[in-house]
Amino acid sequence: MDGEVCRECGARATDTSHVIEENIVSALCYVLLGVTGVLFLYLEPYASNRRVRFHAFQSIFLNLVIIFFWLAISWGARSMALLISPMFLLACLILWLFLIWKAWQNQRVVLPVIGPMAEKQA
């Protein structure tokens, strides 16, 4: 590269940098149940973006809470698990879709308890 222009192909340096928009990355943090949240915490330039970090941490914390409660329902209330578990998973699905939608629209939903924790980490 010669300054901002490549000598061989004439492309500008800004043409080669592919950055996904902030709202799309924020929504993607929720898509793979915390896995993408962890991924975007390590990928630059998203790792230094405060909004993306908030959604990544909230996604990770939310999925840990969901796993904990699902295990508690499965082990703790075995007789009621067949009734409670589908309702719990449906509520989780609705919350998951809601968070993806709000992040896509550049809106920040701070969940109780885990939201402030995510804000501190971001």
Q: What is the DSSP string of 51-62?
A: HHHHHHHHHHHH
Contact 40, 25 (CB under 8 A): yes
- Residue 111 reports pLDDT greater than 70: yes
Q: What's the pLDDT score for residue 15?
A: 43
Q: What value does the mean pLDDT of the chain take?
A: 80
The pLDDT of residue 95 = 92
60 lies in some domain: yes
Residue pLDDT, tens place only, 51-88: 888 988 999 999 999 989 888 877 776 777 777 878 88
For residue 99, tell me if it sits in a domain. Answer: yes
Q: Which two tokens stand for residue 110?
A: 């701070």
Cα–Cα distance between 17 and 22 in angstroms, integer? 15
> Which residue segment(s) compose the domain that 31 sits in?
21-121
CB atoms within 10 A of CB 113: 10
Residue 6, in any domain of the structure = no
Q: Flag whether 10 is in a domain.
A: no
Given this model, what pLDDT does residue 97 score? Answer: 93
Q: Is residue 106 part of a domain?
A: yes
Structure tokens at 113: 């308890």
Q: Is residue 87 situated within a structural domain?
A: yes
What is the pTM (predicted TM-score) of this model? 0.75
- Per-residue model confidence as pLDDT tens digits over 17-47: 567 787 888 888 888 877 888 888 888 877 7
Provide the residue count of the chain.
122
Residue 28, domain member (yes or no): yes
Specify the number of domains making up the chain. 1
Question: How would residue 4 be classed by pLDDT, with cut points 50, 70 and 90?
Answer: low
Q: Confirm whether 93 is domain-assigned.
A: yes
